[in-house]
């Protein structure tokens, strides 16, 4: 489907270039000379130039379209990855907060780093699409809150996490997932 779209755009550009070339020459001849079919070298060059411009425009449009489409797909894929990571690792984060056990410390740090790096990818490309930036910023802010709750003052300390902190972790996780869904919806608008 995607390939068909890009091919269509390419040929559309080609046809537009060709039609513009033919029309321009027609108008020119109708005005300047009655012998329409007597092509001069200059006319031929003009015609070829128009076709070349048409091809160039078509090629440019196709590349631009493909590039944007690739970035959109990448955004959706990264957003899905982050959601999946949260879904898979929530039990581990929950269990760590319940026990504050050293055994799960490495896994918690690794998971948070993976999520952080995925968000960083979104941040790197957020300016390409209008309407996405604010959602990416929300994802970042809410992720920072999650990291702060889990690896803040209770991390590695004998103190246990409170139920409020655990609830907050879930609350901000929900907010991250909501913002990721907004990104996925808005990117194709």
Partner 1 sequence: MNRIKISEQFSDTPGGRYKRDGAYSGEEFREKYLKPKFDSLKEDETLLLDLDGAYGYPTSFLEEAFGGLARIYGIEKVLDKLKFKSDEEPSLIEEIKGYIKNAKS
> Does residue 123 belong to the site contacting partner 1 (CB under 8 A)?
yes
Stretch touching partner 1 by CB under 8 A, among 39-47, 50-58, 71-79, 102-110: 102-110
Furthest-apart CA pair in the chain: how many Å? 97
Contact 28, 40 (CB under 8 A): no
Buried b (16+ CB within 10 A) or exposed e, 66-104: eeeeeebeebeebbeebbeebeebeeebeebbeebeeeb
Among 98, 120, 127, 174, binds partner 1 (CB under 8 A): 120
Dihedral over Cα of 176, 140, 86, 109: its sign: negative
> Does residue 147 belong to the site contacting partner 1 (CB under 8 A)?
yes
Among 73, 113, 130, 185, binds partner 1 (CB under 8 A): 113
Query: Rounded to the nearest whole angstrom, what is the least distance from the CB of residue 112 to partner 1 in the complex?
Result: 6
Query: Rounded to the nearest whole angstrom, what is the least distance from the CB of residue 188 to partner 1 in the complex?
Result: 27
Q: What are 110's two structure tokens?
A: 């690794």
43 versus 127: smaller Cβ distance to partner 1: 127
Cα–Cα dist 24/33, whole Å: 14
Buried b (16+ CB within 10 A) or exposed e, 12-21: ebbeebeeeb
Place of tokens 């790096």: 117
Among 25, 74, 109, 177, binds partner 1 (CB under 8 A): 109
106 versus 189: smaller Cβ distance to partner 1: 106
Tell me the site size for partner 1, rule CB under 8 A: 23
x/- letters, 153..172, toward partner 1 (CB under 8 A):
xxxxxx--------------
Residues in contact with partner 1 by CB under 8 A are: 105-106, 108-110, 112-113, 116-117, 119-120, 123, 144, 147-148, 151-158
């Amino acid at each position: 489907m995607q390939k068909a779209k890009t091919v269509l755009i390419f040929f559309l550009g080609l046809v537009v270039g060709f039609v513009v070339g033919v029309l321009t020459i027609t108008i020119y001849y109708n005005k300047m000379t009655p012998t329409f079919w007597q092509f001069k070298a200059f006319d031929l060059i003009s015609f070829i130039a128009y076709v070349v411009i048409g091809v160039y425009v078509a090629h440019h449009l196709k590349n631009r379209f493909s590039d944007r489409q690739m970035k959109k797909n990448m955004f959706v894929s990264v957003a899905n990855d982050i959601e999946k990571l949260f879904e898979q690792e929530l039990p581990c984060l929950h269990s760590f907060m319940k026990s504050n056990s050293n055994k799960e410390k490495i896994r918690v740090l690794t998971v948070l780093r993976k999520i952080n790096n995925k968000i960083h990818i979104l941040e790197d490309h957020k300016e390409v699409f209008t309407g996405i930036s604010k959602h990416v910023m929300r994802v970042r802010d809410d992720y920072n809150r999650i990291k702060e709750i889990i690896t803040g003052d209770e991390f590695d300390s004998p103190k246990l996490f409170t139920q409020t902190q655990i609830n907050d972790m879930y609350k901000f996780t929900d907010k991250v997932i909501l913002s990721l869904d907004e990104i996925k919806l808005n990117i194709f608008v």
